[in-house]
Structure 1
Amino acid sequence: MGQEVVKMIQSSDNLTLVRGISRSQYGKDVGEVAGIGPIGVTFTDSLDEVLAKDRPDVLVDFTVPDVVKKNMELAIDAGVRPVVGTSGLSEEEIQELQELAKKKGVGAIIAPNFAIGAVLMMVFAAKAAKYMPHVEIIEMHHDQKLDAPSGTAVKTAELIAQEREELKQGHPEEKETWEGARGAYKNGFRVHSVRLPGLVAHQEVLFGGSGQMLTLRHDSLNRESFMPGVKLAVEKVMELDRLVYGLENILDL
């Protein structure tokens, strides 16, 4: 994702890359690592140093769940606006970050998915759940993903739960002979995670009704699919003075 962000920034007239942050690529030219040739911008291994010396407007973070919250706190404290695609933050952690952003008056965006089509799928799923409350989510990702369920599935489930009262689905005497066979439980419905090589990011939301099925599906076939959403978030975060959770909140829907 970092490589695709670099390519997107370099192809944009209104964005300028000032620094890359990576321990493993320290000192290397960011463009060479991204596969587009040297661009005269190098990697450092210190976020504190970048925030203090380079003074960026926006920090784009696609790291890992263990460090993303601290990265966001450092950025917000420094008056730098984080745009985050790393998933795995808990509801409590997001609330804490929202309070910090509000206190500092600094814009921030956390997006479980930057693909516009995936955001539309989530919004449409929430609308459908009003009329077809029997639902299950199946999300499928590459086998190097660290969190399950995915941020997209979590956000989809949260949106559905806002529009649908809790409904216990399935047979009341249903039993799992293998633990976890029915997936994770959320407000009466189930969420299933698949991890396999060859996948990128895919999700189906299945709705069942009397004599009918509705399937909403989104497929990201490569990471370039996320870049229009990242660019939009980088631009829109400059207009915010609070933390926004979900790309749907900055789209005209």
Structure 2
Amino acid sequence: MIKVIVNGAKGKMGQEVVKAIQKEADLALVGQTDLGDDLAKAIKSTQAEVVVDFTHPRSVMENVRTILENGAHGVIGTTGLTKENLEEIKKLCEKNKVSCLVAPNFAIGAVLMMQFAKEAIKYFPQAEIIEMHHESKADKPSGTALKTMEAMGKEVPIHSVRLPGLVAHQEVIFGGLGQTLTIRHDSLSRESFMPGVMLAIRKVKTLNGLVYGLEKIL
């Protein structure tokens, strides 16, 4: 039984993660924390092994420091982390002998979209990314778009759309002589992320330090 705390439990993603964990026989939800709660105290009092964080780009690094410095492993779905942030997380993992999985997107289909885009760019060097999310998403461009561009190995234009009615959607459009190719993924509900989050919770303790991207554990 893996003891898990969900940080950001009052948010839409946090609520979905709470429900998903409660359905899993091998996972124990030992805490639900949010803004204003003492995360360090919660980790110590529950002896949580894993903390899942879906909070806000402004607070995510403080949360990660608290998680790792208190001996828990991290599953981080909050986006907006910089390369400097990732380097700090790597050092924190080494110092505290814990591991941390950071994933811009936990949907299996989104991971496949990135892999397909990585292949397509070899044959269609001109491409652009359109990422579309709900109006309350704090960061732009999205972590998924940035991770896709990283996988493609070159800078391409990224267009961000924030509108009511959207959840999480992305198109990678490639243009060539007399043809175009579009690779698209749509998350129609937040349930689409749950299999990836559950997999990350189960795998994170076996990882070595920082792992960036869900594709690394598939």
Q: What is the TM-score with the length of structure 1 in the denominator?
A: 0.79
SS of the aligned residue for 1:88 comes to coil
What RMSD over aligned residues (CA atoms) do the two structures have, in Å?
A: 1.1
Deviations 1:133-154 (A, max 9, x none): 1110000001001000001001
Q: Can you give the 5+ residue segments of structure 1 that lack an aligned partner in the other structure?
A: 25-44, 165-186
Aligned length: 206
Counterpart amino acid of 2:78? T
1:148-227 matches, cutoff 5 A:
148-161=140-153, 164=154, 187=155, 189-227=156-194
Greater Rg over alpha carbons, structure: 1
Does 2:72 align with 1:72? no
When you count strand as a share of all residues, which structure comes out higher? 2
Does 2:119 align with 1:127? yes
Distance 1:22 1:104 in 2: 24
- Correspondence for 1:240: 207
Deviations 1:165-203 (A, max 9, x none): xxxxxxxxxxxxxxxxxxxxxx2x200000100000000
Distance 2:176 2:208 in 1: 43
Q: Can you give the 5+ residue segments of structure 2 that lack an aligned partner in the other structure?
A: 1-12
Counterpart amino acid of 1:67? S
- Correspondence for 1:16: 28
Match of 2:97 among 78, 99, 105: 105
Does 2:110 align with 1:118? yes
Q: What is the TM-score with the length of structure 2 in the denominator?
A: 0.92
Distance 1:241 1:80 in 2: 14
Structure 1 stretches of 4+ moved >2 Å? 102-105
Deviations 1:12-39 (A, max 9, x none): 0110000100247xxxxxxxxxxxxxxx
Identical-residue share of aligned pairs (%): 56
SS of the aligned residue for 1:154 comes to helix
Counterpart amino acid of 2:32? G
